[in-house]
Structure 1
Amino acid sequence: MDVRSLYAAQKYAASLPAMEPDATQKPSLQGSFAQAAQDFVGTLREAEQTAQQNMAGDADPHALVEALAQSELAVETVVAVRNKVVEAYQEILRMPV
């Protein structure tokens, strides 16, 4: 074994822990989806509150446009995720048993 391959093996062994996920900070899939759903609902509620304040004349029109843009982006993201889930489910149904 020459010096270069020994050095490469040592560097690989040293960097191996960096490639493995940290077990103490391992988020669950259910928790991730729950947090995403809560963020989505929060975004829609904020947009609704801003729209109501604007109708009452208490909100800045710029804040309304910003809130509506954020809610539109959130809805488009949720629809895209839903479409991917449905597509994956349909692909599973097409698999031969």
Structure 2
Amino acid sequence: MAKINKVCIGESLVGEGNEIAHIDLMVGPRGSAAESAFANALTNNKDGFSTLLAVVAPNLMVKPATILFNKVTIKGSKQAVQMFGPAQRAVAMAVADCVE
């Protein structure tokens, strides 16, 4: 695996309307601003906005450690069920595929 020795930031936006996918990406080594942002995101959840670890399966976190969070308020159980499970696994599998 390539060694990351600086903080890198990127963004991508794909799709239209309700089918849009938007990602903001921050990658960096331990001890950097990226690690601080990672820890802050996990510990500072707000109502309707949840930060989750990307997991391949229950209790199996993807490497490199990855978080995801919603950019729109989760307003009901249907949206929560989509985020907690399918979205977590999809992001984890995408990360795993990229570093394989």
TM-score computed with the length of structure 2 as normaliser: 0.27
Higher percent of residues as helix = 1
Query: In terms of Rg, which structure is larger?
Result: 1
TM-score computed with the length of structure 1 as normaliser: 0.28
